[in-house]
Structure 1
Amino acid sequence: MKKIVPLLVLTLIFVSGCNQKNKRNLTKDILPPKAEKKPVNLEKHGDIRVDNYFWMNERDHPEVIDYLERENDYYNKLTEHTKDFQTTLFEEMKGRIKEDDASVPYKRNGYWYYGRYEKNKGYPIYCRKKDSLNSEEIILFDNNVMAEGQAYFKQAGYSISEDNTMAAFGIDLVSRRKYTIQFKNLVTGELLDEKIENTTGAAVWANDNKTVYYSRKDEETLRSNQIFKHILGTSPEDDQLVFQEDDETFNTFVYKTKSRKFIVIGSSSTLTSEYQFTTADDSVGDFKMLQKRERGLEYSIAHYGEEFYILTNMDNATNFKLMKTSETATEKENWTEVIPHRENVLLEDVDIFKDFLVVSERTNGLNKIHIKRWDGSEDYYLPFDNETYTAYTGTNVDFDTEILRYGYNALNTPSSVIDFNMVTKEKEVKKEQEVLGGTFDKDNYIMERIWATARDGVKVPVSLVYHKDTKKNGEAPLLQYAYGSYGNTIDPSFSSIRLSLLDRGFIYAIAHVRGGEYLGRQWYEDGKLLKKKNTFTDFIDVSKYLIANDYTSEEHLYASGGSAGGLLMGVIINMAPELYHGVIASVPFVDVVTTMLDDSIPLTTGEYDEWGNPNVKEYYDYMKSYSPYDNAFAKAYPNLFVTTGYHDSQVQYWEPAKWVAKLREHHTGDNQILFYCDMESGHGGASGRFESLKEVAKDYAFLLDLENIDK
């Protein structure tokens, strides 16, 4: 019997594998849609690029819609054999999530605020209670009711007037990130008639309870370029323009300081920032410049007492330092140092309390929360002893409190919300994320942080998690993820959804490549502009390291990234297609040169400091040398699954659509290239709490199908 059991297992595996192969063989007779070629010459700097699929840029054209629908039909036919498995995955992932869940309440201005979900409902319900958590619940917004009949629904939070009687909130029904601001009387429940169109969704109340400041977007580019003032009871057409940002590389925004003393207008680009302020008691709104913009000078502000606290890179403080200045003398020559610049510590944020300053830092890639008394009598760090983890300060709206709220999780540890007493050093866990289903045990999963050597000798950190039964023998499937742009750091955080891969033998790896700020600001600087290729080669070198050290092999290595991370996916399959068995590119930014030359496309001009301005030949040449669309030539590509949203305002649908058409034209191998365009969604995917899980189920089914795993 001891010899028969393994034989039976091998037979079952063989039969299962054959069945999967037979299912795929049946799809070979289904031909992909053929996109018509209509050559358009694009000339810049004397260089001519021929774009055969430029016609796809024409939104809502019947021919474009027809092509996208044919692509979706092709995807559905080729993945028909995985539909039941997708449903299984969806139900499995959903089954781990507590449906009747609620956020931890926080207190502001006499009310406790929180959000909650109800069973079998996909949208949040926003609530508050007066004075005590034992008080009667007041429902502010039930998004389930508000979303009825809508293909897409998104509420951009809400803002409460100082007298607690009015709420301003933004609604997007298209997924284009163009929000309509509306107003609700919280005493009567009445929804006011006035609507403010084409905004960012955020609204800021002055202290008179009737004046509201908001940001309006440019209709074409969707750049937030104007700050308006609205008076309740008046027509939005009569709103006063308070500030206009004419520099097309900047966005503008407005907010109220935590002290509730000032209304602040900010302007920012990738490298430069500027703030102006007025007292929140002044409904006239005469704004004073805090520090005028200087190219390369970045700063952000907080207010406490009679001083502004300024996080800045002034005087080559690459990793930032903390300064302060009187609210009556705000120019940089008046700034004095609170926390100096440190070469090995990235200063990310501060939270100010009456007796304490809390500093969010990053050292050697790890989050640190540094607590200091203003009088200097205490100075300590919150203790975290894991090899890799994520920690962050939470919602801290009160100045006069000893309690710091923070969050903590790790790749194998669900999220916790913790209240920490900064005086007694006692902590109270307010909430631990529940993983339902009865099978989860964090001790079943192993975390690692390893360092791969890049081709230029730089050590690239990698965070990994896998089931303890998964063997590192080169045969395990591994999904490698990265983003690597804009200084955004992908922290190693917990995901109950990811368990559906880990429990099926996958290893999950986050490559902390250059272009993020995992190892400090210089890590970002070394992965942008004319050093952008470091992002791509770091990812490839991490892949080679994982293969060389038997975490996986070329037959079982998969890669995933979205948006700018989708660009990363596009580059690696051009540079090293042989390393990957399959790649998922979500809303990928792949037609880099054409997009960056079109300043009518949303976000383009504000991106010049990240990618370079292709109107300058040096940047044009560099961009063209890695742009996935411009470098799609004859080669055998990995299995590929590309997704997009028709209403995407950040990466337009036509970029991945054109890219897929060109890849199919040049693909020399037998691997599948799949493309799916969600005709109802935008950059963030489907709305609703669980609808996004259906998208994840598509991704996971793609990966698992390639591994011949169907249960």
Structure 2
Amino acid sequence: MNTYKWPADVNPPLAEKEPKEFIAHGDKRIDEYYWLNQRENPKVIDYLKAENAYLDTMMSGTNNLRDKLYTEMKGRIKEKDESVPYKDNGYWYYSRFEEGKQYPLYCRKKESLEAPEEIMLDQNQLAEGFKYYAIGGTAVSDNNELLAFTVDSVSRRLYGLMVKNLKTGTIYPETIPNIEGDICWAADNKTIFYVKKDLTTLLGFQIWRHELGTDPAHDVMVFEEKDNRYYIGVYRTKSKKYVSIYSNMNQVSTEYRLLDAAHPTGEFTVFEPRKENFQYSIEHFNDKFYVLTDWDAPNFRLMETPETKTSKEHWTEVIPHRNDVYISDMVVFKNHLVLGEMKDALNQLRVINQTDHKDYYITFPETVYAAFQNVNPDYNTNILRLSYTSMTTPRSIYDFNMDTQQRELKKQTEVLGGFKQEDYTAERLWATARDGARVPISVVYKKGMKKDGSNPLLLYAYGSYGYSVSPSFNSNIISLLDRGFVYAIAHVRGGQEMGRAWYDQGHLFNKKNTFFDFIDCGDFLIKENYTSTAHLYANGGSAGGLLMGGIVNYRPDLWHGVVADVPFVDVITTMSDPSIPLTTGEYKEWGNPADSAEYFYMKSYSPYDNVEKKAYPNMLITTGLHDSQVQYFEPAKWVAKMRELHTGNNKILFKINMDVGHGGASGRFDYLKDKAWQYAFFLALEGRLD
């Protein structure tokens, strides 16, 4: 195998040591790089810049390859493109991109698609002068005359609320800063509800009511979340009848409050009081509510209750619990109810007739795929808009007639650059983990691939928060597939691909199963001759970056190269500091260090705390200086500690985007530059610079 010739005699930056002692439960930890959390310290900024300079030098031989990769990936995107319009309250809404532009235009047409176009927002104009610019949410008033929208121009997920008069084109002078991205209108066309964020923790903690044309200083707080383990939000029900506030402790507890949208100054009433280990979600339908709940049903069951009697004792069962099927979501229509279900790591759509209660599953042609309900704001329709994709099928939007079961393809994402679907093959494999669990793996590769162990293979996973990774199409991956790579997704425990138990077996005191599943999937792929240790690569981001940190501590010998994006790796220190964004809301995911058993279990796998003298694989670690989800200093400290203890000749590289946060660049092309860095890293390790 050819290897990339790293520049010789170039030494990486070495962070200074300033030992800081932490003591908990009689246990002492020394953090020698804690000082790197001083974002405003010039010495910290200089160190981060030195890391970027080192990266530029070490990867200088890939400059042409990165340009080529960027051009390839950008070349597959249809630059002049438009979303499939959907109808809501008399208007057809869609977004479109103009050639060469980074951001969409948000548009609508009245009643007919032949009507004149109204451009509600041109994000390209709004973003001028900003290095980052994201629109968080948009909401049109009931009279169709006003657009409320939120904007983040820093990448800290601190949004500002703005309102535009769609008749005059005027953006009103009043703005409300430091809120969540999502907002909603009441039915009076002048009242907006929004979520205020705590500027230290960045948690949404209060719901406020604003009346258009008044000083925001006079806004009224309508709800305050006292328990900082909960995330909160506000939205308008699909029926438009209610404004709803939700409080959600991830995968543990939920609570909803309702207000008649026609009376915005009224009092919110609790639907059903919160209780730990009790979750529910609601959809309004005529004179009742549908309730999706895990009450005596780990994989959830469907209930219904009268609109005027929402407490739990009035709930009656519609769809019972099943051990092998996880109900993930629901969408309500006048004559139909559609459930999203997960079975054997595949999404299914189940259609139920509201009158005769007969049901069926929508069928799809491939064995490995993902299907979801799309944008369905219209209540009085028998058409379900759904999206379908697989690892070889670009995202496809269908209108599905729920009465006749006929479907109409409205749009399939056009992939330019000579892509031919028939050139690639996808399959589903099952690896047996060390404890006997069967772990699904979704795999895609170019036809003609020989299973002789010589193929480079990139294995990806997330494995946290119950989030299920879909085997969907990614046009960027073609740049690897066409160069001989196999791409695989390990559906490890910590997600819910195999139901609620799959999540329960991958968090808190079972978190190590996530790491071991991933490692066992890597061993399985080698055993089955899809790849070998010399050609096996791994990638994960955020909580998936924690996974990367775990696997390189447990099995550094298994991977030739690893990319950890914005990785959560300093588990104990972060979870011990409630001022850090996301800490308190994550106690039920990772544990609370105030509990000694949870503290010691977290410490036993925390990547930063378990860095040892060993030969780590080649690694590229990324972060954003303004990251609000995983603070930049976690990967910065991790890199510094690995550099100190790393043995062998493999390279540890650190890439810091000084202008963005957790999600990377906001433009549709800019993020491809980051992707080109990652792919160039893998390809350089394969000796492929073409």
Q: TM-score, with normalisation over the residues of structure 2? A: 0.99
Identical amino acids, percent of aligned pairs: 53
Write the letter of the residue equivalent to 1:224.
G
The equivalent residue for 1:115 is: 95
Please state whether the residue corresponding to 1:464 is helix, strand or coil. strand
**1:460 pairs with 418, 439, 450, which one?**
439
Please state whether the residue corresponding to 1:201 is helix, strand or coil. coil
The equivalent residue for 2:239 is: 259
The equivalent residue for 2:135 is: 155
**2:367 pairs with 376, 384, 387, which one?**
387
**Does structure 1 residue 588 correspond to structure 2 residue 567?**
yes
**Does structure 1 residue 675 correspond to structure 2 residue 654?**
yes
**Does structure 1 residue 79 correspond to structure 2 residue 59?**
yes
Please state whether the residue corresponding to 1:551 is helix, strand or coil. coil
**Does structure 1 residue 693 correspond to structure 2 residue 642?**
no
Mapped contact 2:242–2:258 kept (Cα < 8 A) = yes
Deviations, residues 629-664 of structure 1 (Å, cap 9, x unaligned): 000010000000000000000000000000000000
The equivalent residue for 1:3 is: none
Please state whether the residue corresponding to 1:55 is helix, strand or coil. helix
Deviations, residues 587-618 of structure 1 (Å, cap 9, x unaligned): 00000000000000001001000111111010
CA distance in structure 2 between the aligned counterparts of 1:561 and 1:112, rounded to whole angstroms = 38
* Shift in Å, 1:326: 1.1
* Shift in Å, 1:201: 2.1
The equivalent residue for 1:602 is: 581
Alignment of 1:133-532 (within 5 A): 133-270=113-250, 271-315=252-296, 317-376=297-356, 378-437=358-417, 439-532=418-511
CA distance in structure 2 between the aligned counterparts of 1:378 and 1:620, rounded to whole angstroms = 50
CA distance in structure 2 between the aligned counterparts of 1:228 and 1:413, rounded to whole angstroms = 43
Write the letter of the residue equivalent to 2:404.
T
CA distance in structure 2 between the aligned counterparts of 1:322 and 1:449, rounded to whole angstroms = 30
The aligned length equals: 689
Segment drifting more, 374-383 vs 582-591: 374-383
Write the letter of the residue equivalent to 1:573.
V
Mapped contact 2:615–2:648 kept (Cα < 8 A) = yes
* Shift in Å, 1:448: 1.1
Mapped contact 2:137–2:183 kept (Cα < 8 A) = no
Write the letter of the residue equivalent to 2:609.
D
CA distance in structure 2 between the aligned counterparts of 1:682 and 1:657, rounded to whole angstroms = 14
Please state whether the residue corresponding to 2:534 is helix, strand or coil. coil
Write the letter of the residue equivalent to 1:522.
A
CA distance in structure 2 between the aligned counterparts of 1:274 and 1:344, rounded to whole angstroms = 26
* Shift in Å, 1:377: 5.9
**Does structure 1 residue 570 correspond to structure 2 residue 549?**
yes
CA distance in structure 1 between the aligned counterparts of 2:243 and 2:480, rounded to whole angstroms = 47
**Structure 2: which 5+ residue stretches go unaligned?**
none
**Structure 1: which 5+ residue stretches go unaligned?**
1-13
Deviations, residues 46-86 of structure 1 (Å, cap 9, x unaligned): 11100000001111111110110000000011111111110
Please state whether the residue corresponding to 1:462 is helix, strand or coil. strand
Please state whether the residue corresponding to 1:552 is helix, strand or coil. coil
Mapped contact 2:284–2:290 kept (Cα < 8 A) = yes
**2:71 pairs with 91, 98, 121, which one?**
91
CA distance in structure 2 between the aligned counterparts of 1:125 and 1:546, rounded to whole angstroms = 44
Please state whether the residue corresponding to 1:513 is helix, strand or coil. coil
The equivalent residue for 2:106 is: 126
CA distance in structure 1 between the aligned counterparts of 2:188 and 2:11, rounded to whole angstroms = 65
The equivalent residue for 2:645 is: 666
* Shift in Å, 1:480: 0.3
CA distance in structure 1 between the aligned counterparts of 2:451 and 2:470, rounded to whole angstroms = 24
CA distance in structure 1 between the aligned counterparts of 2:562 and 2:394, rounded to whole angstroms = 27
* Shift in Å, 1:421: 0.8
Alignment of 1:530-541 (within 5 A): 530-541=509-520
CA distance in structure 1 between the aligned counterparts of 2:114 and 2:291, rounded to whole angstroms = 39
CA distance in structure 2 between the aligned counterparts of 1:211 and 1:641, rounded to whole angstroms = 48
CA distance in structure 1 between the aligned counterparts of 2:502 and 2:356, rounded to whole angstroms = 32
Write the letter of the residue equivalent to 1:318.
P
* Shift in Å, 1:157: 2.8
The equivalent residue for 1:616 is: 595
CA distance in structure 2 between the aligned counterparts of 1:207 and 1:650, rounded to whole angstroms = 34
Deviations, residues 130-149 of structure 1 (Å, cap 9, x unaligned): 11000100000001111001
Q: TM-score, with normalisation over the residues of structure 1? A: 0.96
Please state whether the residue corresponding to 1:688 is helix, strand or coil. coil
Deviations, residues 409-463 of structure 1 (Å, cap 9, x unaligned): 11011111000111122111000111112x2211111111111111011111101
The equivalent residue for 1:42 is: 22
CA distance in structure 1 between the aligned counterparts of 2:467 and 2:264, rounded to whole angstroms = 37
